[in-house]
Structure 1
Amino acid sequence: MRRCFLCGIDPYTEQSFEHRREWIKQKLYALSQVYCIDICAYAIMSNHYHLVVHINRDKAQTLSNHDVVERWQQEHNLPSLVSRWLSGLLTSDAEIEACLLIIDSWRSRLWNLSWFMKELNFDIACQANREDECKGHFWESRFKSQALLDEQALAAAMAYVDLNPLRAGIASTPETAEYTSIQARLAALNNQQETAPCLHPFIGNPTNERLDGIPFRLMDYIELVDWTARQFRENKASLNSTNPPILQRLNLNQRNWLKACTELERKRSTAVGCIGTIERARRSLNKKRIHLFRLDG
């Protein structure tokens, strides 16, 4: 964002913007109820934020027209044509067809990452500009994204995001890293809740087709995050003699894993994953070449 503090305390003016972290979290939670975009991990820093999301296109395409409108009106005002359709007041075929075209456009937006980010950033920018009594661009540029090609890439990106405050030196442990998904998940665990509000749940078994969620166990992921934190923080305890089981099950190269969890955004890569998934991703994304951050051997 522009050269001022999004959150945190500005060291020059000593003005606190900590309350803006809550703005972002609440807007994230609100949009997650509208869009078919699941939030896997987040970290809200002083002048930027990180997200790991799952785009659920299939879910958006199976929603009924009424479900699409119900979702959309949670954050938007409905045009009168759609309001009349909801009330059953449309009588002409032309009006009904025009209404359904509008609903179809909303359906395509429900799984569109650009629309999700646009709405999130626009709302925060408007609030910040009102508070700062200024106008103009708040965010420096459009968001940057990397495609996560497989389970290994998903785990690496989530750990990278959850450990961002610790790596930046503003938290000493994962559980004390405020405004992160790992802290929210641990708090929910302590409160005996199945998952934190609005976060994509862990389902444990990647072959479990009955549930929609992150394909590993929460406890494995917590152990993995803790182990990773110990590796690149000098003031943390040394690694135990055995690796977390999840590293072995996901066939992750230990050196590449640690590199990903510290340098994921430094590389000019458009995708993260193992070499075995790159050809399928290249065809899916209709790309001749993909700059891959490789996680396997």
Structure 2
Amino acid sequence: MTQSRSSLISLVDTPYYHCISRCVRRAFLCGEDKFTGQSFSHRRQWVVERMHCLASLFNIDICAYAIMPNHYHLVLRADIEENQNLSNEDVCRRWCQLYSAPPLVSRWMEQQLNTHAEQEVALEIIGNWRKRLLDISWFMRCLNEFIARKANKEDTCKGRFWEGRFKSQALLDEEALLACMAYVDLNPVRAKMADSVEHSEYTSSFERVHGVTHNEDPHEHPFREKLLLGFVGDEHQANPQGIPYSLIILSCWTGQGAFFVKTNEVRFAHNTQSC
């Protein structure tokens, strides 16, 4: 039996989750359709830009990602403290960039409510929005729905674009988190789409190294939204928050070298032995 999402995601146990969404159609999320010769590679940029935009609105950080031909991986972190510290006005401002506000909340924002009952109802709605800004299911919904609509419009068709609801897995400790991040970043290497993580376009490791998603002019696709979550540990103990590590090897042999997490960069170490 399918489990409810609330039973799969518990921020009390861990703020870190590995999420996967897969396409249902032969048209693919990106890549080239061998039957028609049409390329859908530009859709990878759609996903990256949308998820960065959503990360700047939700209280959810992106730790790692990889955009593959017919699916994508995300490692997300829910920031409970940031969510609690948002003012009601900030909650409204963020949510209203995604959806229109009901008239009652619009009047609350303009300080035009006259009764206590109206105030209570408006604050209840805003309270629900606050919960959604910390909700990974709502984050994935806003990402997948946007991509599906845009792809269907481009393909001039209707119907499902995604296989079903996204899959999620809780990452309960530091080892699980770093192992999952390595797994995600190494997806293109295992699929023989790239010979090393340094050349794996549309992955978090490529973005951390180059500051962009793919080999294009850095000024063509600069990141204007929220960046990837950084690292804390060792010489960066003073950082307020980030992915925990203690000079741990993040990923193993990739064919050309191993890469290590060091400060907020991904540094490559070429050697001849597997990790």
Q: Same fold (TM over 0.5)?
A: yes
Greater helix share, 1 or 2? Answer: 1
Alpha-carbon distance in structure 2 between the residues aligned to 1:115 and 1:66: 20
Q: Deviations over 1:190-221 (max 9, x none)?
A: x9xxxx9521111224994761111127xx56
1:211 is aligned with what amino acid?
A: P
Aligned to 1:3: 25
- 1:113–1:187 distance in 2 versus 1, CA, 3 Å: same
Alpha-carbon distance in structure 2 between the residues aligned to 1:34 and 1:174: 29
Aligned to 2:268: none
Asked if 1:229 is matched to 2:253, the reply is yes
Aligned to 1:201: 230
Q: TM-score, normalised by structure 1?
A: 0.71
| 1:62 corresponds to which of 85, 104, 112 | 85
| 1:152 corresponds to which of 161, 175, 187 | 175
CA contact (8 A) 2:56 2:226 kept: no
Of all paired residues, the percent bearing the same amino acid is 49
Instruction: Please list, as runs of the form range in 1=range in 2, the aligned pairs for 1:52-91 lying within 5 A after superposition.
Output: 52-91=75-114
1:145 alignment partner, SS class? strand
Aligned to 1:15: 38
1:161 alignment partner, SS class? helix
CA shift for structure 1 position 224: 3.5
- 1:63–1:209 distance in 2 versus 1, CA, 3 Å: farther
Instruction: Please list, as runs of the form range in 1=range in 2, the aligned pairs for 1:131-210 lying within 5 A after superposition.
Output: 131-188=154-211, 197-205=226-234, 208=237
Aligned to 1:251: none
- 1:96–1:245 distance in 2 versus 1, CA, 3 Å: closer
Alpha-carbon distance in structure 1 between the residues aligned to 2:169 and 2:92: 30
* Unpaired runs of at least 5, structure 1: 247-257, 262-297
Aligned to 1:115: 138
* Unpaired runs of at least 5, structure 2: 1-22, 213-217, 219-224, 263-273
Q: Deviations over 1:83-132 (max 9, x none)?
A: 21111111111111111010000011111111111111011010111111
CA contact (8 A) 1:40 1:158 kept: yes
Q: TM-score, normalised by structure 2?
A: 0.76
Q: Deviations over 1:235-264 (max 9, x none)?
A: x46x8xxx9799xxxxxxxxxxx9xx9xxx
CA-atom RMSD in angstroms? 2.7
Between the two structures, name the one with larger relative contact order (CA 8 Å, sep ≥ 6).
2
- 1:105–1:197 distance in 2 versus 1, CA, 3 Å: closer
Q: Deviations over 1:217-238 (max 9, x none)?
A: 7xx56x633xx133xx4xx46x
1:146 alignment partner, SS class? strand
CA contact (8 A) 1:21 1:179 kept: yes
| 2:242 corresponds to which of 177, 202, 213 | 213
Count of residue correspondences: 230
2:227 is aligned with what amino acid?
A: C
